[in-house]
Structure 1
Amino acid sequence: MNVSRSTLNYQARQPVRDAPVIAVMRELSAQYPRFGYRRIGV
């Protein structure tokens, strides 16, 4: 296996302060599936 240890041990960390914004963005993407990431991210 040609994978480094740091890649296997990596865990994405999401700041707690961004959690409410991400939740709203997910709701919007479910409500408006045709909107792309650029329209929802603005």
Structure 2
Amino acid sequence: MNIANKLLLSVKNMLRDIILGVNHFIMSSVVIDIFFYNNVRDVEV
């Protein structure tokens, strides 16, 4: 039972790390897109 709990916990932690990594990647992409969009818009004007 103890081994199963440890395994479940490690899987939970792994999933959490993946989700946090994906969220961080999405947020970074959004920030970069906004940054580049604003720069391009400023250059065009």
Answer 1 or 2: which has greater helix percent: 2
Q: Radius of gyration: which is bigger?
A: 2
Q: Normalising by the residue count of structure 1, what TM-score does the alignment of the two structures yield?
A: 0.39
